[in-house]
Amino acid sequence: MALKHETPLLDQLESGPWPSFVTGLKRLAESEGKQYAPMMQDLLGQLEYSYKTRKGFWKGGTVGVRGYGGGVIPRFSEVADKYPESSEFHTLRVQPPAGMHYDTKTLRTLCDIWEEHGSGLIAFHGQSGDIMFQGATTESTQAAFDALNEIGFDLGGAGAAVRTSMSCVGGARCEQSCFNEQKAHRMMINATLDDMHRPSLPYKFKFKFSGCANDCVNASHRSDFAVLGTWRDDIKVDQDKFKQYIAERGRKEINDQVVNMCPTRALSINDDDTLDVDNKSCVKCMHCINVLTKALSPGDDKGVTILMGGKRTLKIGDLMGSVIVPFKKLETEEDFEELVELGEACIEFFAENALEHERIGEMIERIGLVNFLEGVGLEVDPNMISHPRTSSYVRTDGWDEEVAKWEARKGVAAE
């Protein structure tokens, strides 16, 4: 089927070296006999018109499915008179499986459902983790949702609600994984699902789970509640493999690319080409492990660090998450339940104390981290501060006594 509208500006986007979304849109618009082709024809027309006028012509509204207060992003066209077939182009946000593990049969079924009820256009995945089924009419939204629900998929979050969470691919594909990301993700979302489907919070709230500090799902700076895998014993070193790296790449390269790039200078190469790690200084940044994958790996005493309030960009500027739990084991059922309880406590505190349109990071800046920790029942821990003696916000007189008290509480023998 030939294109209905001329698209000279969009055509330019196809001329670069990378695959263009325009090609995909055209393929859908040109599909013979498909119910969505007329919609995609007019969508291309409207998009070209937007490029020409440098204006967006989508406005919101209210569209939903039975029993849910969110999960559908309504899009109504303001130029429907010119492009009637794409006058409604709503998006269904759908939760992916934790870790985004699909089999091809499921992917094909998802595509079939969207070809039947929507535009055929699907984005895997949005920054909140959702599968974005883009291009439904108001009439077809319920039917599309019913079909997705039938095969076990559920809507995600939109608006002032708990958002669809994300977890990295995890232990199934990655040897650096330090905890069961999928389990933590699933348990947390199952417990907070009501706050996802019925938006009633001051603003959005995102959970993200990364198996190590490489943070493949951007948890530390793009989620309100970030769970990052880490370890607290020593990095594991296979000295034979390390010697092999030295033999293959030479001392200079390993020095330049690994040893000298350790942020805390925790690494040194011995005369016999073995590696020395000052584990007390290591901040578990993952750099050396990433470069020397065969020789180095995370320790055995694994767990998670929990950070709160990361986001770029907030109204008050960019924030990385603040550590609220320096280390937590996440092995037993009880450990996972404690994590979920903390998540619920944070949401409750956020719901009661945040201002309208204020993310939890901004709320913590406003009320102070100490008040927040007290509010959710967490104790201040010296490990939360990376350089206590250089931070002007930390009084250091009496600090040694505080550390002694903390050690006594934790049962650590004072040195």
Does 267 participate in binding ligand SF4 (rule CB under 6 A)? Answer: yes
Q: Show the tokens assigned to 25.
A: 């849109």
Q: What are phi and psi of 134, to 5 degrees?
A: -100, 135
Residue whose CB is less far from ligand SF4, 287 or 302: 287
Residue whose CB is less far from ligand SF4, 93 or 284: 284
Residue whose CB is less far from ligand SF4, 267 or 325: 267
Tokens 């599309």 found at: 144
Cα Dmax for the chain: 79
For ligand SF4, the binding residue among 282, 342, 347, 378 (CB under 6 A) is 282
Of the candidate spans 65-73, 88-96, 198-206, 282-290, the one that interacts with ligand SF4 by CB under 6 A turns out to be: 282-290
Q: How far is the CB of 145 from ligand SF4 (least distance, A)?
A: 45
Residue whose CB is less far from ligand SF4, 172 or 283: 283
Q: Are 222 and 312 in contact (CB under 8 A)?
A: yes
Coil, helix or strand at residue 359:
coil
Determine the distance from the C-alpha atom of residue 281 to the mean position of all C-alpha atoms in its chain, rounded to a whole number: 28
Single-letter amino acid code for the residue at 167: S
Q: How far is the CB of 294 from ligand SF4 (least distance, A)?
A: 15
Residue whose CB is less far from ligand SF4, 260 or 391: 260
Size of the site for ligand SF4 (CB under 6 A): 14
Single-letter amino acid code for the residue at 266: A
Q: How far is the CB of 406 from ligand SF4 (least distance, A)?
A: 24
Residue whose CB is less far from ligand SF4, 267 or 347: 267
CA-closest candidate to residue 122, choices 194, 24, 53:
24
Does 286 participate in binding ligand SF4 (rule CB under 6 A)? Answer: yes
Q: How far is the CB of 253 from ligand SF4 (least distance, A)?
A: 16
Residue whose CB is less far from ligand SF4, 163 or 287: 287
Does 291 participate in binding ligand SF4 (rule CB under 6 A)? Answer: no
282-288 long-range contacts (CB < 8 A, ≥24 apart) are: 282/235, 283/386, 284/213, 284/230, 284/231, 285/213, 286/176, 286/212, 286/213, 286/214, 287/258, 287/261, 287/262, 287/263, 288/235, 288/258, 288/262
Q: Show the tokens assigned to 74.
A: 């309504």
Q: Are 22 and 10 in contact (CB under 8 A)?
A: yes
Q: Are 149 and 68 in contact (CB under 8 A)?
A: no
For ligand SF4, the binding residue among 26, 287, 302, 359 (CB under 6 A) is 287
For ligand SF4, the binding residue among 262, 347, 360, 376 (CB under 6 A) is 262
Coil, helix or strand at residue 307:
strand
For ligand SF4, the binding residue among 47, 162, 196, 266 (CB under 6 A) is 266
Does 259 participate in binding ligand SF4 (rule CB under 6 A)? Answer: no
Examine residue 90 and say whether the peptide bond preceding it is cis (omega within 30 degrees of 0).
Answer: no
Q: How far is the CB of 266 from ligand SF4 (least distance, A)?
A: 4
Does 127 participate in binding ligand SF4 (rule CB under 6 A)? Answer: no
Q: Which residues of this protein are in contact with ligand SF4, per CB under 6 A?
A: 262-264, 266-267, 277, 282-289
